[in-house]
Amino acid sequence: MPKIEVNTERCKGCERCNDACPQQIIGMSDQLNNKGYKYAVVFDRPRCIGCRICAIICPDVAIEVYVEGTQYELFQY
Ligand code: SF4
Ligand code: SF4
């Protein structure tokens, strides 16, 4: 299973990763970080396909994706 890490203090809550995730498994927290922004949360990690789109699209480099190889299963819109 891919491992996703969100650096909550780098996140500014723009929600671009929410919109970009093809699995639609990223949402925003109810909590605020130290800058006063809601931060991104991956709420259904088992459905992550490790595509890295969230990490690529984040303008603040707040997401890191660790995955071995390429995964195709579970890909659905
Ligand atoms: S790696 Fe892909 S599927 Fe996983 S959370 Fe990021 S955008 Fe979504
Ligand atoms: S794209 Fe980056 S800065 Fe924007 S909500 Fe997602 S993790 Fe936060």
5-18 per-position pLDDT tens digit = 999 999 999 999 99
Q: What pLDDT score was predicted for residue 71?
A: 56
Please tell me the residue having the least CA distance from ligand 2 atom 3.
11
Note whether residue 72 is domain-resident. no
User: What percent of the chain has pLDDT above 90?
Assistant: 81
Mutation probe of ligand 2 site: the residue of 7, 19, 28, 39 with most atoms within 8 A of C-beta: 39
pLDDT for the residue numbered 37: 97
Ligand approaching nearest to the C-alpha of 10? 2
24 within some domain: yes
Angle at 67 between CA 34 and CA 12, to 5 degrees: 20
Q: Is residue 34 part of a domain?
A: yes
Within-domain flag for 75: no
Rounded Cα gap, residues 16 and 68, in angstroms? 24
Report residue 68 as tokens. 């071995």
CB atoms within 10 A of CB 47: 15
| CATH number, position 41 | 3.30.70.20
* Residue 35: inside a domain: yes
Residue 44 in any domain: the answer is yes
Q: What is the pLDDT of residues 28-50, one digit of tens each?
A: 999 999 999 999 999 999 999 99
Average pLDDT (43-72) is: 89
**Is position 73 within any domain?**
no
pLDDT in the model for residue 39: 98
* Domain around 33: 3-66
Angstrom CA distances, 44 to 25, 27, 36, stand at 5, 10, 24
Structural domains in the chain (count): 1
